[in-house]
Chain A
Amino acid sequence: MAEAVRTVALTKRYGPTRAVEDLDLAIDAGEVYGFLGPNGAGKTTTIRCLLGLHRPTSGRATLFGIDAWRDPVAAHRRVAYIAGEPSLWPSLTTAETLEFLGRVFGGVDIEYRARLLERFQIEPDKKVRALSKGNRQKIQLVHAFSTRADLLILDEPTSGLDPLMEVAFRETVNEAKSNGQAVFLSSHILSEVEALCDRVGILRAGRLVDEGTLESLRHLHAQTIDVTFDGTRPSLNGVEGATSVPLGANGLRFQVTGPVGPLLRRLASENVTALEAREPSLEEIFLRHYGTADDGSG
């Protein structure tokens, strides 16, 4: 079976601006993929190319093996999309909007939709024009999930949602996941991605700079080891794969890349009173990619 999402050397330029550069993505059916990047990194552009709303300058983008630029209708039959900025028809009510979107999609799971309406606490008779951004976002969410589409493309779906609705959203994504639906979750909310995604890709200035499971990403990146000594801290320079900075009066914080054995062997001869090791959070991984320069815009 073809992958849910596949891009090969996908590149999109707007005049001189390079929005997406040489992007290779492969997301399997049933996989939940987190697409991370700050504002302007090229996340939305990637999605617009995937959906065939914008034409790739070069390279290819397919959904379940179908090029959405060439044949959008066929490609979209198995895909539901939530835009970051909910753009709906102001004079329609919520119920009317859902009815329309569902009909054009070609039928939705009515029972599930009713449950979602309740879960997201939606008033069906309110007109879209009278709704806040978060409430408009909820209409999109209910529609997208009620399609039971094989692939959900979500572009910052929780911007505008309150914490209660954020919980409802995570519950719904997990339901989709256990249903075997694939989810492409573009976000800059790291906790959300960390909680939901099997695999993560980090986009910077239109290029994919890191990709893998959370486990493998953590493994590849430095661990943080805080060590407290009895008395003054010793000088521990030149340990293979480790750098240190002072921590408090008598401690050191090590960043260790690769195996921790050499450091442990050196520490064995010191008066260590406490040792705490932790893997990097997604936030630390993310910030490391962006920490050095601020040219992430584009």
Chain B
Amino acid sequence: MTAAARALARRVVADGRTRTVSFAALFLLVTWVNAAGYRSTYPNINDRLRLVQTFGNNKAARMFYGAGRNLTTVGGYTAWRAGGILVVFAALLGIFAATRPMRGDEEAGRTEIVLAGRLTRNTEFAAILAGTGVGLTVAFVATALGAVFASLPLRPSLYLGLVVFSVGAVYVGVAAAANQLAPTRRGALGLASAVLGVDFLIRVVADTTDHFGLHWLTPLGWAEETRAFSGSSAFVLVLPLAATAILLAAATMLHARRDLGAAYLPARDSAPPRTRLLVTPATLALRLDRVVVATWTGVILAFALVVGSIAKTVEDIDLPESARNQIAKLGGIDITKASGYIGLTFVIFVFAITLFVCGQLAAAHDEETEHRLETLFALPFGRDPWMRGRALLALGGIASCALAAGIGVWAGAVASRAHLSFVDGMRASVNVLPTAILFLGLGLALFATFPRRAISLLYALVVASFVWELFGALLDVPSWALDLSPFHHVAPVPAKPIDIASALVMLAIGAIAGAIGTVRFRARDLAGD
């Protein structure tokens, strides 16, 4: 590589350092907590066998992590629970890491400056990929280290890291191609995320309906077939390797043949005016974000339908009485009933909808950093009504997504003749709201207080809370520490009633934080350059 290309690659690494470090910490901790936690929580074979019988065969668990193998060993369990979820995060890392320096910089006009220098387009593209690869390699090392720190043997630990890396690499390829197709970073992110969504859905169907052949279709399925810590099938890694190579070759070719700033998907540059929604800043935001809200609602509905339609297969499991008792002791709910399984699964919808909230705040944040708020607030329009409008839009989106989740699981369950009433579905929907509103309020407070860092802080808070809820229980920590995560207070509705006390507390904190946000936003300078 030339000096200029090296400089660009270093720039990419430096720009992504916050993301790389956060993800690396996540990969290391999740791996370590699972391995170390399992060893201490399930010390003998009897405990482990019981775990396999109950949790291991549970469809809700399979949905999250895939189908486990060798769950009576520390390595098998780690590969299942940590690996199963980290491959999804690796895919997200790959998508974020590739879209920012590619389409993001191009959109912002920085690529034009770079290409006006001594770099050719192919070298520039290669340099960015090199920088992205460095970030991804850190994730590989972090995963392997997490396993090694928990006293797992080195070679299979490295192999697990490689599996996680391989999924990230495929999605760097997916995002690199999406960057050629979509004219904006947001569009490229959307395309690549849609691919990941389909991938995840196929993997879920494969694992929950025992159609394991479907694994061979997608990167997440390949990762499961690599069988880390259960007789590794290293040859499977050829598939992600080939996919990455093909995608990157296609992206390089597409990239070299197009004009800078252009894209292969048609961008409509003119349109007849549609002014119905252009009345207030809030309705403008609705107009700008309606596709986003509709997409989230649609994806959640589809996913909920799948969750609902699997409910019947849970009821059909013929578990011995002893196992049923054991499960009842675990969480006080019966996961062999549709309502129990859906109650446990619903937390993933709660998580997804809080991510939607993060996206809404990120959109508000962009309005400020791209100076459109300056245009707006120079008009006779105040900051308070703007903030109210944004909050209202987010609330509407939350309601829409929550409703889709409830209706989806109900419709799916009814279609497969499982026992779930419409009211049960609606109760599950309502149960989503307090957590989402809590994070909305916290997000507004962060936005008003830390105009620069607000969005990364909010994402970090949401992801950390969720990961803590998933894995914190494995550590020997006092219960107040587990209580720190808002997700810990989401009752498994409809198996249990809504936890009114927790809901009220979350709503109150959300409202107070939102009020603090409104006051603080009123009192600060708009972010300028």
Contacts and interface: CB of A to CB of B under 8 A. Distances in A.
Given A54-B525, A55-B525, A87-B374, A93 B271 contact: yes
A95 B380 CA distance: 20
B45 interface: no
Contact of B273 (A44, A53, A72, A124): A124
* Of listed B280, B370, B380, B528, residue having the most chain A CB within 10 A: B380
Contacts of B284: 89, 100
A261 to B, nearest CB: 51
A48 B528 contact: yes
B266 to A, nearest CB: 12
A87 B378 contact: no
Contacts of A127: 268-271
A3 interface: no
A106 interface: yes
B273 A104 contact: no
Contacts of B267: 129-130
Interface string B356-389: 0000000000000011101111111111000000
B113 interface: no
B274 interface: yes
Interface residues of B, number: 33
Contact of B270 (A81, A106, A126): A126
A5 to B, nearest CB: 14
Contact of B269 (A88, A96, A106, A130): A130
B245 interface: no
Interface string B261-285: 0000001111111110011110010
A110 interface: no
A48 B377 CA distance: 10
Chain A's interface size range is 35 or more
A172 to B, nearest CB: 19
A98 to B, nearest CB: 9
Contacts of B509: none
A104 B381 contact: yes
B523 A129 contact: no
Main secondary structure of the interface of A (DSSP, over half): mixed
Contacts of A81: 378
A96 B278 contact: yes
A95 B273 contact: yes
A91 interface: yes
Contact of B382 (A55, A72, A89, A129): A72
A2 interface: no
B288 interface: yes
A24 interface: no
Contacts of B288: 89, 91
A77 to B, nearest CB: 5
A95 B271 CA distance: 10
Given A53-B526, A87-B371, A93 B270 contact: yes
A85 interface: yes
Contacts of B372: 87-89
Given A54-B528, A83-B375, A91-B288, A96 B274 contact: yes
Given A87-B375, A93-B273, A126-B269, A106 B380 contact: yes
Given A53-B525, A53-B526, A103 B273 contact: no
* Of listed A103, A105, A130, residue having the most chain B CB within 10 A: A103
A101 B271 CA distance: 18
Interface string B508-529: 0000000000000001111010
A295 interface: no
Nearest to A101: B379
B182 to A, nearest CB: 13
B370 to A, nearest CB: 6
A105 B379 contact: yes
A123 B271 CA distance: 11
A129 B273 CA distance: 15
A101 B279 CA distance: 9
B184 to A, nearest CB: 8
A126 B272 CA distance: 9
B373 to A, nearest CB: 8
A81 B278 CA distance: 20
A156 to B, nearest CB: 14
A100 B278 contact: yes
A121 to B, nearest CB: 16
Interface of B: 267-275, 278-281, 284, 288, 370-372, 374-383, 523-526, 528
29 contacts: A48-B526, A53-B525, A54-B525, A55-B525, A72-B380, A72-B383, A73-B380, A73-B381, A76-B379, A76-B380, A76-B381, A77-B380, A85-B371, A89-B284, A89-B288, A92-B278, A93-B271, A96-B274, A99-B275, A100-B278, A101-B379, A104-B381, A105-B379, A106-B380, A125-B270, A127-B268, A129-B267, A140-B375, A153-B378
Q: Which 5 A-B pairs have the closest CB atoms?
A: A87-B371, A130-B269, A81-B378, A100-B278, A76-B380
Given A55-B525, A104-B280, 11 more contacts: A44-B528, A51-B377, A51-B378, A53-B525, A72-B377, A77-B380, A81-B378, A83-B371, A100-B284, A103-B278, A127-B270
